Amino acid sequence: MADEYPDYSIVVEMENAKSIDWAEIGVGLNALAREIAAVSATGFARPKVIISHGGEGEDADTLRRNFHTQAPQLEEVAEISFAACPGGRYYDLKNNGIKQTEGELVVFLDSDTVPEPDWLATLLGPFQDPGIVCVNGYTYLLCDDFFSRTFAMMWFFPMAEGDRRFASKRALNANNIAFRREWISSHPFPQNNGFKVSCTLLMHELRRQGHQPSNVNARVYHYPPRGWRFFFWRALVTGRDADRKFVAQRSPTRGARIVKSFSRWFTMSWRTTRRIVSHARQAGMPAWQIPFSLIVGQAFYALVFWGQFSFAAGIVGDRVELVPDYVGHS
């Protein structure tokens, strides 16, 4: 019966084994095991799960022990392998994992995301159509306090519920997506100095070849960002990444880039205000916190503007974006 379904592999991006919050990772691993067991019961073959991490090869033993402790059932439903990519950045880890995949399909999941029930079945389902190359899932931010609720409303992920229009326009989610292996192996995530630019570049390549991602309701939640240091760093790098995307897709001229930084500041400031006002109740935010949330949102995108403007104007040079040690979930 398994022959009726395509074989698949799952690439899980993971940081160095020494810096992992296993209490959170374990929740996602157990959810992943549940999802694999559910699709295996319908006829899919036992998959290969590749844990692509940024540590050294010898870290595999530490990872394996922790996997066995946190989610022993994952070993029962999948073959687990570990792929070291010392010093690798986010997309490097994904490309590193692709090399060890097998079968027709490749699913990508991050170590700080947690699948909801029916996630995997929903993500794999559209591939019954041989013309489908990419299936894009639905990722949202978990929120449980003032700052995480504010981030959830102004972030590039849609809200968990009631955000249909915004969700329909979502970009590729590298933390919740699947490809035909033949395509992604020959078109890996593009190299770029930016932090989160490669998804946009890969989307451009998909469309250039006449493919459109199939957006489905395969849901995972992403752990929320924490701390003012993350807030400051992520805003500035978001601005620099916005300029990198503009250069790649629109124009490399400095004048056009500077103009874009101002127009985007206005657009994002208005969007943030609109989304906070319209989604505050849904996010569970008390009415008295809304003005403070608006201040935080406007401060974030003022920093984004400065990041984009200073980069476009040549005040800041184009360096490889690395996650600082003080940054938690990102």
Q: What are phi and psi of 156, to 5 degrees?
A: -80, -10
Q: What are phi and psi of 292, to 5 degrees?
A: -70, -35
Residue 223: how many other CB atoms lie within 10 Å: 21
Say yes or no: 124 and 263 in one domain. no
Say yes or no: 56 and 128 in one domain. yes
pLDDT of residue 328: 55
- Helix-helix angle 59-70:22-40, to 10 degrees: 70
Domain range for residue 288? Answer: 228-312
Grouped pLDDT means (10 residues each) for the chain, 330 residues:
79 75 91 98 97 91 91 96 94 97 96 96 96 96 93 92 82 94 97 96 95 95 86 96 96 97 98 96 95 97 98 97 72
pLDDT of residue 1: 38
Question: CA torsion, points 157, 286, 239, 18, in degrees to nearest 10?
Answer: -70
Q: What is the Cα–Cα distance from 267 to 264, expressed in whole angstroms?
A: 5
Say yes or no: 256 and 180 in one domain. no
Angstrom CA distances, 74 to 58, 63, 122, 222, 263, stand at 21, 13, 20, 20, 48
Cβ–Cβ < 8 Å for 53, 93: yes
pLDDT of residue 16: 57
Q: What is the Cα–Cα distance from 141 to 79, expressed in whole angstroms?
A: 29
CB half-sphere exposure, 12, CA atoms < 13 A: 27
pLDDT of residue 232: 94
Find the CATH number of the domain harbouring 106. 3.90.550.10
pLDDT of residue 228: 86
pLDDT of residue 327: 67
Q: Does any domain span residue 138?
A: yes
